[in-house]
Structure formats: structure tokens, C-alpha cells
Amino acid sequence: MAVKIRLKRMGMKKKPFYRVVVADSACPRDGRFIEEIGYYNPMTCVKDENGVNVPNNKENDKTHAPAVVKINGERAKYWLGCGAQPTDTVRVLLKKAGVIEK
């Protein structure tokens, strides 16, 4: 059984939210997984001057908010030690979270 650390897409249409999961490589992207080790939200919202949530807008720096990455580093290191292979995107997120060196 080849194990991968990859993203599982959640959320709504045009508003993605991803969970970082450990799954068998033969399972579908959004299918069964072994363990959830974190999440990634690229579409964070900020509040405007009236306190209303405004979607992330890269053209306007006032409403630009950074993406949120939260990964359990201890569990990620455990699975990497067991031979789990992260996808390219997850590898970048693990570096950003400080789990693996750059």
C-alpha cells in the first residue's frame, strides 16, 4: 500500500477549502483517507470598514489576506518517516509550515 500526503477538496463551488490528509494512493482524491493532519484555506476573508466579510482580492491590497495553513507537524513527520510521499503542493505547504527544511 503506497501512502500519500495530499489535499482533499472541501468547501463550495469557487470557494475551495482543503484538508491535508494521509491516504492510500489508489483511493480517489476526495475518498477514504487514513488520517487528517491539517488544513489549507487559500480563500481567507477580511473585514471591510463596516465589519462585513469581503473575499480575498489580490488586486486591492487593502482586502488582501494571506492564505491559512495549519498542519500538525508531529504527525506529518511521523508519516514522512513511515515513507509517505507528499504531493508537490503539500510539499510546498509543509515547507511553509516549517515541518520540512527548504
- The sign of the CA dihedral 72, 76, 43, 49 is positive
User: Does residue 50 lie within any of the structural domains?
Assistant: no
User: Does residue 61 lie within any of the structural domains?
Assistant: no
C-alpha distances (whole Å) from 34 to each of 3, 7, 62, 101 are 9, 13, 40, 25
Q: What is the mean pLDDT of each run of 10 residues along the chain (102 residues)?
A: 91 90 88 91 74 60 72 93 93 91 76
pTM of full prediction above 0.85: no
User: Does residue 26 lie within any of the structural domains?
Assistant: yes
Structural domains counted in the chain = 1
Nearest to 26 by CA among 37, 36, 34, 38: 34
HSE-up of residue 21 (Cα within 13 Å, Cβ side): 19
CATH number assigned to the domain comprising residue 83: 3.30.1320.10
Cell 492510500 locates to 24
